[in-house]
Chain A
Amino acid sequence: MYRYDEFDAQLVHERVEQFRGQVARRLSGKLKEDEFKPLRLQNGVYLQLHAYMLRIAVPYGQLSSRKMRRLAKIARDYDRGYGHFTTRQNIQFNWVALKDIPDVLAELAEVEMHAIQTSGNCIRNTTSDHYAGATKDEIMDPRPWCEIIRQWSTFHPEFAFLPRKFKIAVTAAEHDRAAIKVHDIGLHMRQRNGETGFEVYVGGGQGRTPHIAAKVADFVPEAELLDYLEAIMRVYNRFGRRDNKFKARIKILVAETGEEEFRKLVEEEYAAQREGEKIDLPQEEIDRIHAYFTPPELAAKPATSEGFEKAKTADPAFARWTRANLHEHKVDGYTTVTVSLKPIGVAAGDATDTQMMVVAHLAETYGHDDIRVTHAQNLVLPHIALDDVYDVYRELDAAGLATPNEGLISDMIVCPGLDYCNLANARSIPVGIAIQEAFADPDDQADIGKFHINISGCINACGHHHVGHVGILGVDRKGEEYYQITLGGRADEKAAIGSIAGPGLKADDVPVALKRLVDRYRELRTSKDETFIETFEREGMDAFKEAIYAGA
């Protein structure tokens, strides 16, 4: 894991003091709210329905035990004993008082964390594959480049007042778990003739006008990455629309300019850079940052573990959990564990301070001090020996963290919705819980297999409904909440925007409609190995649409 050096530590400290001064000027009335707003946003502070919300960056989703314990302490001391992990691998606290925020930021700085640029019209937290550095299917570890991008984008003087927010995601695995094609910039690491570089996608996004990103470059060599990113950012900063907030994201610029023309603008800007404009990123600096991400020293072990196999036989609940929540590790005898934050009846992504402490303890004891936050709002322990999995499981289970549902129908992405958010038109959390209850039987979930339901409480799409296999969008119609169903979306390497199935349903009708949809899938699938999305892509909308509305 990256560790701050004197520069990083000093800058984060200076940021805390800067914000402390800004808050003091705000509280004394010297700074007007409209002038304070972009400042607080670029420090992660939102004004929400009930209180200020603080969003803390978890760069590329990686935490240590020490960091996790500090988050638990903040939840306890400044919030109501819990935090909310987000789809961009961050964590939010919903009940922090404005006057306390500088102190919270100072506590974060002590453990090398911050809330810098987690909101506002600037470059946000760079996200990545939550299995980075552990998974068998990556060509390299993307985290060092995420860290380089983090540093380059932090306090960038030219790109702090962009037309709109800007999100970058990086993956190095064929199977894209970072949803790079629905980001403003998506980077896919590639190797060509022994050289490392990036395939560059621009203009993906969700919100009210979802777009799949366009590929603008096949291969940007690593040494040129930051200069190339600067070129994209400058084109966007100069030419992105500023007349309408809803048309200000780079996806609209790409769509309205046309992919070809946009690519030309970027290439021209890139070609025009003079030598003096290039970013001097010395090779020894690239090496220095990479050195923090050397794989943990994992003792050699056989590919199978006797204890693990025995425990599975003896404890069927454990066996079921291992089938859902483990991911193949690149080293024999080890596995990657998903800690589900989606037990039935709890808002997706919420964790209590006690649960955070448990995860911190497990990471420290068994997991090489490594914890990840996933884009699906779960946690991950990337490096667990098979021999230890049962011990880990039992501690997780005792803390309510062993729901066996990773990637299954009850593992939904759900935005906070009308219960917390002042943008929402409809509630999301209760609908999500009602669906979970309809599919509560773990055997039933296992039989259904991979199935992504994403729920958003308004068209801003924070719940990623466009890219859910089943997307659910809450809308308000004359004071009543309705839920529009989309089918066929996906956020992976075959990214697609879901299509609307038909008229919106009332909240109470959603779970039963999904029951019928799932039954139809079971009738139509060629075998248990064919996932819902595959069946949908083969069969098309009509068969499923009919099932959804059969009861209407």
Chain B
Amino acid sequence: MPLIKNGQEVDDVWAYVPDEAPLSPGGCITVSLSRFRSETELLLARNTEIGVRLEPADDPQELEDHLERLALIEIDFPKYTDGRGYSQAQLLRRRYGYTGELRAVGQVLRDQILYMNRSGFDAFETERTELPSILQALEEFSAFYQPAADGAATVFARRHGKK
């Protein structure tokens, strides 16, 4: 599925390994949180980059101690109307300090991408990629009232000359 990162369509070098499938010896892989939990040592001992995919009910705090080792966290939106992923993203970025790639996967739609971006996502796996349209979605608003993971100055602060 096409992947958009930092405003560009990029090649995806990552593969998600389903829980029942064996881990490939090389390559960049992501696994579910439950697999990460049960095979943590094995996964961290690999010489490859490691990623974890979170489902909506997963608690991102479980990853707190391993964030430096993780190069990718995918947050799944099985339904775009399920907004738990936005809280997971904000927690990872703002509370636990995750700085690696944070990718939205699943039902990722053009009109949700701005809020995802504000919540800390920097990569989007989206089915119907219309890059210009997605870039436009990110530019639809010039200011924001509330702070979020994107670090944008709030309107509350900008009114008083703060950046």
Contact = CB atoms under 8 A, between A and B. Distances in A.
A104 interface: no
A237 B95 contact: no
A160 interface: yes
A285 B81 contact: no
Contacts of A282: 156-157, 160, 162
A237 B84 contact: yes
A160 B109 CA distance: 14
B141 A157 contact: no
B142 A14 contact: yes
Interface string A1-37: 0000101101100110110001000000000000100
Q: Mostly helix, strand, loop or mixed at chain A's interface? A: helix
Interface in B118-163: 118-119, 140-148, 154-160, 162
B18 interface: no
Interface string A214-255: 000000000000100000001001100010000000000000
Given A157-B115, A158-B148, A11 B159 contact: no
Interface stretch (B25-33, B37-45, B86-94): B86-94
Contact of B81 (A151, A161, A234, A276): A161
A156 B141 CA distance: 12
A276 B144 CA distance: 17
Contact of B114 (A11, A157, A158): A157
A105 to B, nearest CB: 14
Interface in A277-332: 277, 279-282, 284-285, 288
B80 interface: yes
Contacts of B144: 155, 157
A18 B112 CA distance: 12
Interface in B34-56: 56
A280 B146 CA distance: 9
A15 B141 CA distance: 8
A192 interface: no
A14 B141 contact: yes
Contact of A279 (B82, B115, B119, B154): B154
B7 interface: no
A18 B141 CA distance: 9
B69 to A, nearest CB: 22
B145 A152 contact: yes
Contacts, number: 109
A162 interface: yes
A38 interface: yes
Interface residues of A, number: 43
Contacts of A39: 111
A280 B154 contact: yes
Contact of A272 (B56, B95, B111, B116): B95
A196 interface: no
B83 interface: yes
A226 B154 CA distance: 13
Contacts of A280: 147, 154, 156-157, 162
B119 A158 contact: yes
A152 B111 CA distance: 20
B159 A277 contact: no
Given A157-B115, A277-B95, A284 B160 contact: yes
Contacts of A237: 83-84, 86-87
A427 B114 CA distance: 42
A38 B87 CA distance: 19
A354 interface: no
Contacts of A5: 159
Nearest to A122: B83
B159 A288 contact: yes
Given A158-B87, A237-B87, A7 B147 contact: no
Nearest to A15: B141
B77 to A, nearest CB: 9
A161 B83 contact: yes
14 contacts: A8-B155, A11-B145, A14-B141, A17-B140, A121-B83, A151-B156, A152-B146, A155-B144, A157-B115, A157-B118, A237-B83, A242-B82, A273-B95, A279-B146
Interface of B: 56, 80-84, 86-87, 90, 94-95, 109, 111-112, 114-116, 118-119, 140-148, 154-160, 162
Given A11-B141, A242-B82, A279-B146, 7 more contacts: A18-B141, A158-B115, A158-B119, A161-B82, A237-B86, A242-B56, A279-B147
Interface of A: 5, 7-8, 10-11, 14-15, 17-18, 22, 35, 38-39, 121, 151-162, 226, 234, 237-238, 242, 272-274, 276-277, 279-282, 284-285, 288
